[in-house]
Amino acid sequence: MSRPRISPSPRIGGAEKCEFPVRHYVRSVVVAQARREIQSAEQQIIALTPAEQQAFRQALQEPIVLTAAQRALGALMRGE
């Protein structure tokens, strides 16, 4: 009776599809994201992924509900 083979490095998500060890998969994702962020900083723009754009748009469309403390602070700042 043979034992099941245990992989020396775990695999996750997209890494399973390509048979990459997790460290290589993570490195490729993190390095790509870091490059995009550096390029955005150099161009002084905000670069968002489609998912981030969606979340940002939804956040802007939601009505703002102030807490009692925020309303009190606003009144204090206006001198009321």
pLDDT, tens only, 59-77: 999 988 999 999 999 999 9
CB atoms under 10 Å from CB of 25, counted, come to 19
Range of the domain at 25: 13-78
Residue 21 lies in a domain: yes
Residue 48 lies in a domain: yes
Residue 30 lies in a domain: yes
**Three-state DSSP state, 38:** helix
Residue 47 lies in a domain: yes
Q: Kindly report the average pLDDT of the chain as a whole number.
A: 81
Residue 6 lies in a domain: no
Q: Which of these, 70, 48, 66, lies nearest to 57 by C-alpha position?
A: 48
Give 3-state DSSP helix, strand, coil % of the chain, rounded to 5. 65, 0, 35
Residue 2 lies in a domain: no
Residue 5 lies in a domain: no
Residue 61 lies in a domain: yes
Number of folded domains in the chain?
Answer: 1
**pTM for the full predicted model:** 0.39
For residue 46, what are the CA distances in angstroms to 2, 43, 53, 74?
54, 9, 10, 30
